[in-house]
Structure 1
Amino acid sequence: MSTPAPLLVVGDALLDHDVCGRAERLAPDAPVPVVSGARRVSRPGGAALAACLAAADGRPVTLVTGLGEDDSSTCLTRLLADRVRLIRLPLTGPLSSKTRVLAGSRPLLRLDDGDGRAVGPTDEARRAVTEAGAVLVSDYGRGTADALREALAEASAHRPVVWDPHPRGEAPVRGVRLATPSAAEARGFAGRFATAPEPGGGTALQCAARDAGTLVRRWGAASVAVTLGGRGALLSHGETPLLLPSPVTAEGDACGAGDRFAAAAAGLLADGELTETAVRAAVHAATRYVSEGGVRSLTWEDTAREPAGGAEPVDGALGTAARVRAAGGTVVAAGGCFDLLHAGHVALLEAARRAGDCLVVCVNSDASVRRRKGPGRPLVELADRVRVLRALECVDAVAVFDEDTPERLLGELRPHIWAKGGDYALTRLPETPLVESWGGQVVLFPYLDGRSTTGLARRAASGPRPSGRPR
């Protein structure tokens, strides 16, 4: 089982506050909404949010950022405790923070405070960049990337560097593996290089492609992925671009979606994936992030976490189930080896997801499969089985169990529905009493006849029929 590679995040951390309430009337003295029943939530923002999202993927993360002794810096340091390793740069002035006032999920007002700026690299920070296997730079224009620009330029020549630029920041160092501006950011950066009026008109996609090509050439970047919101991302290496569309249309709070995209892409490049593969997976990750509620679906009050590592930490699945349950939704779980994922598996998982508001897949570890199926199994190792499952749009989270049966994991997840294939119709499942003990229900879903991993492996081993068609 492969362990996700460590990631170094360099950038400007922010402290974000959301004040959420109801707006049911206008103020008597001015035509402005009155927000009542407000609840205040503080959370990491900027590079700190990107670092936390990367850590939530199960990888060790180190964050290099400017922090001071002001109240906002102290609060952010507490929120980051046990999530990421911190390397602090000195900060002049208080840490930047922003406060959003929301009525339901609709922002009404934003307040920005703090003008702190990171100054001067430290030996520890320079050493962290030099030794990092991969780097994500989240440059909000508040000094961190500038302080380490020389070390980052050296790193980009030897290892994957992903640069997430923002309007107040500078251009990436030359040689970055991937830059990830939004369409508006790409337009702004490309406009800085215009010496004559550019050709007018064109669709949004044509403009994004033109801007991406300009930035690849002028920044000296290996590739630029322009994020297009709900449409996905446009990946350019300087020539004909590749459109990587979102798998579904996700509606919701998109705050932090760019950080989710950049963190996912950087993490996969750290793992050795190709740029196209990393960007495609990052589109899926950002889509899922928005559909699950964005930053408001994340929990910051409890910072106790399991050590990072493993292909799919159980606490991620538990967090998904807890958020859905707290919102009054239905948690569905399904389990199995999922060795050589086939149409029968996909049909079961899609049907299970439609029965509730999230689907957690419980998958046997390699040792568990070997004990159940014999020494020749699994055919596909755990890390790859998990990755394929996570790529399915109907799957919200994956959790691994090492026992022969998933009762212990089910006891932690406590799903409302435990989904099984219809081939168990005449079988009394051993986990049924457990699921029913908390009011859950075992539900059978139709099974596609003739689909099985054993059958697929047998047919593959025996070769095609003389007619040339598969057996």
Structure 2
Amino acid sequence: MNGPLVVVGDSLLDIDVDGRADRLAPDAPVPVVDVSAERSRPGGAALAACLTARTDREVVLVTALGDGPAARTLRRHLTGRVRLVELPLVGDLPVKTRVRVDGRALLRIDRGGGTVGPPDRRAAQVLARASAVLVADYGRGLADRLRPPLTACAAHVPLVWDPHPRGGPPVPGARLVTPNAAEAKACAAALDPDAPTGDGLPDHTARGALLAGRWRAASVAVTLGRRGALLSRGTESPILLPAPYEATGDPCGAGDCFAAAVTAALAAGAIPEEAVHTGVTAAADFVARGGAGNPDLWDRASGPATAPPDALRIAEATRARGGTVVAAGGCFDLLHAGHVSLLESAARLGDCLIVCLNSDDSVRRLKGPGRPLNPVGDRARILTGLGCVDAIQVFEEDTPERVLRTLRPDVWVKGGDYRFESLPEASVLAEWGGQVLVLPYLDGRSTTALAERAAVRARP
């Protein structure tokens, strides 16, 4: 279907207050926070919608915002990113304020929270045209207002339900329900007092099967943080989809990122195993980049719906805050351990890493007929799955000189056995005082060697 991706649920306005705490108040033994920055951003279903909008599909957010300053601020954040279909809200939009000291949460303040009114026909109409639906249920009643049209959607298109213990059950026939471990435990206990209460994999497995059966869902993915997600279809053996790496960072918004990525993957035709793997990878990358509270990441996550992470924008933002821009180049056909080592080393040299990737025609001219083994879309997707890579810039020429003049990196990294003076990029970097570094691959690792070994082993 060519209809929009529709996100349904309770929206919030999130505010992050950052500062330092070097002293205690004179009138009470509590820290005094000297505020250095305060930022607002979409939260709840609004965050899920903005994250979903990183695809090239139209995204519609069905939510209740009401009036008041918080609602007006949230509408400004959403303008140009998603299309709004609003239900009435009697009262104030919920506002969640986190006070952070040196990047760590010290205090959270919640205020607001109105009553959702009845929907008009626009909500049902947009749901009838949806190619996939994500329900971001934060337990404030909006999903319950739309249960009949959501039930109808579940019979025809992929419907993902991100539940909350205070909310109602998912509609029957949901393609995938995505509770985290704590939500799964609370929901299972409410359904069955004999549900397991432990935190081992057998306990998560039993709860996933219980929830899939009681909710009449096609599958349930219990997200386990750094361990990945456990996919259950009830009576079938579960599948553990591990995280690609251990991400450290602010996990705020990781569940919304997971649900958004899963929904987009299902809309594109992925089976649940593929969709959950995509979601786990996206969530790990999201956390590694600082979560929803990272202003640079939020700029990318909430950008225009048709724009992937933009290499030039990331480079300019990094320079604006005094950071070092690192770029690395190559074909990266059949990604191997040498490539990964090179890119991880390159990322440690600065504050962002942009990979300049040869197009298919460029690889063919450089490597000859039969190459690349993987098309540029697959190569780019694999590279963006690495936590050390911030953006990809594909170039069509034999050398990346033109794109380097656009990006103007501080450091250019090339892998292999090149000599500095033989690199045409060296004179280009010299134009603005950039530095060229050549880092060797791990001994014996190369795409050509891998392909030759595979061809030998394939012979009868």
Q: How has the CA–CA distance of structure 1 residues 134 and 419 changed in structure 2, closer, same or farther, with 3 Å as cutoff? A: same
Of 400, 403, 406, the residue aligned with 2:400 is 406
Q: Deviations over 1:256-307 (max 9, x none)?
A: 1111111111111122222112212222221221221112223599799975
Quick one: distance in 2 between partners of 1:255 and 1:304?
Answer: 13
The one of 264, 267, 278 equivalent to 2:264 is 267
Deviation at 1:187?
0.9
Counterpart AA for 1:11: G
What SS is found at the alignment partner of 1:442? strand
| 2:408 pairs with 1:419 | no
Structure 1 residue 73, shift from structure 2 partner: 1.1
| Paired position in structure 2 for 1:380 | 374
Q: Deviations over 1:360-415 (max 9, x none)?
A: 22223345545666676544333222222223344333233345543443344333
Q: Cα distance 1:73–1:46, how it changes in 2: closer, same or farther (>3 A)?
A: same
| 2:422 match: secondary structure | coil
CA deviation map 1:86-136 (0-9, x unaligned): 222222222111111222222222222222233222322212211111111
Residues 1:198 and 1:139: Cα distance change in structure 2 (over 3 Å):
closer
- Report what 1:348 is aligned to: 342
Matched, 1:253 2:250: yes
User: Secondary structure of 2:417's partner?
Assistant: helix
Provide the residue aligned with 1:23 in structure 2.
Answer: 21
Distance (Å, rounded) in 2 between the aligned partners of 1:161 and 1:31? 49
User: Which secondary structure does the structure 2 equivalent of 1:362 belong to?
Assistant: strand
Deviation at residue 227 of structure 1 after TM alignment: 1.4
* SS in structure 2 of the partner of residue 56 of structure 1: coil
Q: Equivalent residues in 2 for 1:162-311 (5 A)?
A: 162-194=160-192, 196-198=193-195, 202-238=198-234, 239-299=236-296, 308-309=305-306
Letter in 2 for 1:205: L
The amino acid across from 1:294 in the alignment is G
Residues 323 and 277 (structure 1), Cα distance of their counterparts in 2 relative to 1, 3 Å cut:
farther
Q: How far apart, in 2, do the equivalents of 1:447 and 1:301 lie?
A: 34
For 1:66, the equivalent position in structure 2 comes to 64
**Secondary structure, aligned partner of 1:29:** coil
2:75 aligned residue: 77
- 1:332 alignment counterpart: 326
1:135–1:416: structure 2 CA closer, same or farther, 3 Å change rule? same
TM-score (norm 2): 0.89
Instruction: Return the alpha-carbon distance in structure 1 between the equivalents of residues 317 and 292 of structure 2.
Output: 12
- In the alignment, is the contact (CA less than 8 A) between 2:4 and 2:129 conserved in 1? no
C-alpha displacement of 1:309: 3.7
Instruction: Label 1:465 to 1:36 Cα distance change in 2 as closer, same or farther (>3 A).
Output: closer
Cα offsets for 1:126-165 (capped at 9, x unmatched): 1221111111110112233222221111111122111111
After TM superposition, the score normalised by the length of structure 1 is 0.87
The reply on whether 1:445 has 2:439 as its aligned counterpart is yes
Greater mean alpha carbon deviation, residues 356-365 or residues 297-306: 297-306
User: For the Cα contact (< 8 Å) 2:292–2:298, is it kept in 1?
Assistant: no
- In structure 2, the CA distance between the partners of 1:338 and 1:180, relative to structure 1 (3 Å rule), is same
3-state DSSP of counterpart to 1:192:
helix
Which of 144, 152, 170 aligns to 1:154? It is 152
SS at match of 2:126: helix
How many residues are paired up? 458
Distance 1:455 1:301 in 2: 41
Q: Which amino acid aligns with 2:403?
A: L
Q: CA RMSD for the aligned pairs?
A: 3.1
Deviation sequence 1:223-280 (CA, Å, 0-9, x none): 1111122222222112332222323333322111111111111111122222112212
In 1, distance between residues paired with 2:300 and 2:353? 24
Contact persistence 2:327–2:409 (CA under 8 A): yes
Q: Distance in 1 between matches of 2:76 and 2:293?
A: 19
| Distance in 2, Cα, partners of 1:143 & 1:403 | 55
* Larger mean Cα displacement after TM superposition, 440-449 or 376-385: 376-385
Question: Does the 8 Å contact 2:336/2:447 carry over to 1?
Answer: yes
> Match of 1:434?
428
